Amino acid sequence: MDERRSNHRLARIQHHLRPGPPLCSPGQLEFMATLGIGQPALELATAFPQATPASIFPPSVSDYYQLDGLLSPEDLALREQVRDVMETHVAPVMTKYWEKAEFPFEVVPKLASLMVAGGTVKGYGCPGLSVLGNALMAAEIARVDASCSTFFLVHSSLCMATIAMLGSEEQKQKYLPSLARLDTIGCWALTEPAYGSDASSLNTTAVKVDGGWQLNGQKRWIGNSTFADVAIIFARNTRTNQINGFIVKKGAPGYKATKIENKIGLRMVQNGDIVMEDVFVPDEDRLPGINSFQDTNKVLAVSRIMVAWQPVGIAMGVYDVCHRYLQERKQFGAPLAALQISQEKLVRMLGNIQAMSLLGWRLCKLYEAGSMSPGQASLCKAWNSLRARETVALGRELLGGNGILADFLVAKAFCDLEPIYTYEGTYEVNVLVTGREITGIPSIKPAAAGKVKGHLISQV
């Protein structure tokens, strides 16, 4: 009986799928009402007049504990300068580019006008900022747009910092001035398809040949790579089996960078896959200061501070938007800010921001004093990104339906924080770096059977 019913149902479906006579002629279709299909969306101010979109950015109102008192006049002036550029020139266009997953090249001259590329690097046209000043700048860019912040950190705190810290004097003079003006753009290629957290095991190779090196391999998730003029490439020296660094210029034969599509976060950042087939790099473009992965870690130690400040900025921007929205948006005859549950969430967001800022501030001071440990940097990055994740989730709840619209920033920030939660070390890897430091027991890799510092470790 069941089989007969199934066959009968299938026959009915097949009958309905047969082509039949057209319901109307082409001429009738031309004059048929479209019911709004294909019509442009209403202007947001018309469609939703009760709240201001993030294209008009709200004032900063998150410094509840007056942490500005910890900053120097120079740091405060720098922050205001960056804030003005971001709110005036980036906020009005960021949603459009984020939606299209395109990079806003139109704002690069405005970012260049800040003259902060190179961050802490002194000379060569770079500003020589303090570590704290550089971190505040990263947070202030992220407050308005996390993608622009990531673009800038890849260019400045990875590419430029590597050349400044580990390059030759000739390389610094050749590359840094143009990078500092943003006349040329840099990227930094460590991660590979098979090696993310386990980056030290990379298998891109560098073979010594007459006059230089030949690179073969593949890199993945490399920000700015599709348009960068200069790429810092990490590869394994086949003679020494150690990691070396190389400067590869755009257009080098055998070098190809293609965009990774379909990301849900940092959509404006052009992450790419890099494929290298017999790419020749002259001896003059091998970075002399990179002879092992430990040398690479010198750069990562500084950049991790900057990445720890990105979640601070993102959370600040979300809080500022929510603070304004809750007072503008009315339901049940009162602003949403009058509801107890809204105030509780807003206060929890504010508390997170104060704690994140203080932890980031202290990390900068430890680095400047020469006493910062890898575990301290990793804890700050992991904890700040975790708290920011909670903060943007609360903001998404507070905005209700508008919490899924990029126009009100929160949805965009909600998505943009996800890759930041993962890059520069996942949350788990960063906490295990700190765990190794406080216990003396490494647990990132599966442990072999035996004892580690007196502790019995079973085979995983």
pLDDT at 460: 28
Radius of gyration of the chain (CA): 26
Residue 300 makes CB contacts below 8 A (sequence gap 6+) with 424
Q: Of 86 and 46, which is predicted with more confidence?
A: 86
Inter-residue contact 376 to 365 (CB < 8 Å): no
Instruction: Please give the torsion angle defined by the CA atoms of residues 171, 172, 173 and 175, in that order, rounded to the nearest 10 degrees.
Output: 80
Q: What is the pLDDT of residues 30-72, one digit of tens each?
A: 555 555 567 888 988 899 999 999 999 999 999 999 999 999 9
Average confidence (pLDDT) over 318-329: 98
SS3 for 55?
A: coil
pLDDT at 453: 53
SS3 for 266?
A: coil
Residue 441, token pair as written in the block = 């027991």
pLDDT at 39: 83
Average confidence (pLDDT) over 234-263: 97
| Cα 347 to the center of its chain, rounded Å | 26
In whole angstroms, give the CA distance from residue 441 to residue 433.
10
pLDDT at 404: 96
pLDDT at 53: 96
| pLDDT exceeds cutoff 60 at 20 | no
pLDDT at 455: 44
Q: In sequence order, what DSSP letters do the residues of 374-433 get, joined into one string?
A: HHHHHHHHHHHHHHHHHHHHHHHHHTGGGGG-GGGSHHHHHHHHHHHHHSSS-HHHHHHH
In whole angstroms, give the CA distance from residue 288 to residue 187.
18
The model's pTM: 0.89
Residue 275, token pair as written in the block = 């494929």
pLDDT band at 16 (very low <50, low <70, confident <90, very high): low
In whole angstroms, give the CA distance from residue 271 to residue 413.
18
Q: What is the pLDDT of residues 374-398, one digit of tens each?
A: 999 999 999 999 999 999 999 999 9
pLDDT at 6: 61
Average confidence (pLDDT) over 125-144: 97
Average confidence (pLDDT) over 157-177: 98
Residue 74, token pair as written in the block = 């120079």
| pLDDT exceeds cutoff 50 at 29 | no
pLDDT at 23: 55
Share of the chain above pLDDT 90, in %: 83
pLDDT at 74: 95
Q: What is the pLDDT of residues 418-433, one digit of tens each?
A: 999 999 989 999 999 9
Q: What is the pLDDT of residues 196-214, one digit of tens each?
A: 888 889 999 999 999 999 9
Average confidence (pLDDT) over 176-182: 98
| pLDDT exceeds cutoff 90 at 361 | yes
In whole angstroms, give the CA distance from residue 52 to residue 329.
9
Inter-residue contact 417 to 344 (CB < 8 Å): no
Residue 391, token pair as written in the block = 């903060």
| pLDDT exceeds cutoff 90 at 243 | yes
Residue 36 makes CB contacts below 8 A (sequence gap 6+) with none
Report the candidate in 160, 155, 151 with the shortest Cα–Cα distance to residue 416: 151
| pLDDT exceeds cutoff 70 at 135 | yes
Which range among 4-18, 293-307, 371-385, 417-431 shows the weakest confidence by mean pLDDT?
4-18
All structural domains of the chain, each given as residue ranges with its CATH number in brackets, are: 67-184 (1.10.540.10), 187-292 (2.40.110.10), 294-442 (1.20.140.10)
